[in-house]
Structure 1
């Protein structure tokens, strides 16, 4: 599956099939959440949350691709990601784009 964050496929005509999305709500375990809280006292990257969001983006992307595959798409264009805090230590990540068939 070709994934692009531009609204066309270079050198190809596309037939839009519709919006596809993948979403996940992810959290870290209590121990890592505690360590992240301690990290805020001294500053710097909170690697536990970085890893959590990276994993969440991968899951959301896979779910989006699965939805596009079920529609018979060859590519997803204009891909975007969004995230929001759902509760303390948990975040929602959504990946969305337009599924297209290449001509």
Structure 2
């Protein structure tokens, strides 16, 4: 599955636009990690536990979006965007969306003269 934050795919022609697809996940903070993060705020530096949590959340949301696109027979998802929102105290949603499309490679792009 090709993924792009552009509205097109370089070296591909979009032959059909299928529908908007999305994926989301809602995660809460771990109390122990939250206490450590509070201490880290005092001395500064990266909050690696939150970085890892966000990376896992992004990947889970992307995987869910891809699964929806695959059920439509899509070859790619274009115009991908991410959004986050607070759902409740200590819980946030990570949301990703884009347009599922069918696309074919441009064979002429591979034969360009220098």
Both proteins in one fold, TM over 0.5: yes
The answer (yes or no) to whether the contact 1:27–1:52 under 8 Å persists in 2 is: no
For 1:54 and 1:27, locate their aligned partners in 2 and report how far apart those are by CA, in whole Å: 14
Q: Which residues of 2 match residues 38-49 of structure 1 at below 5 A?
A: 38-49=39-50
Q: CA RMSD in A?
A: 1.4
Between stretches 32-41 and 85-94, larger displacement belongs to 85-94
- Cα deviation for residue 85 of structure 1 reads 2.7
TM-score by length of 2: 0.82
Unaligned runs of 5+ in 2: 105-114
Aligned partner of 1:21 in structure 2 is: 22
Q: Which residues of 2 match residues 1-103 of structure 1 at below 5 A?
A: 1-14=1-14, 15-103=16-104
Q: Structure 1, residues 34-90: CA drift from partner, whole Å, max 9, x if none?
A: 111221222221111111001000000000000000111000011111112333433
TM-score by length of 1: 0.90
Q: Which has the higher Rg, Structure 1 or Structure 2?
A: 2
Aligned-partner SS, 2:81: strand
Between stretches 71-80 and 89-98, larger displacement belongs to 89-98
For 1:45 and 1:89, locate their aligned partners in 2 and report how far apart those are by CA, in whole Å: 19
The answer (yes or no) to whether the contact 1:79–1:98 under 8 Å persists in 2 is: yes
For 2:69 and 2:93, locate their aligned partners in 1 and report how far apart those are by CA, in whole Å: 20
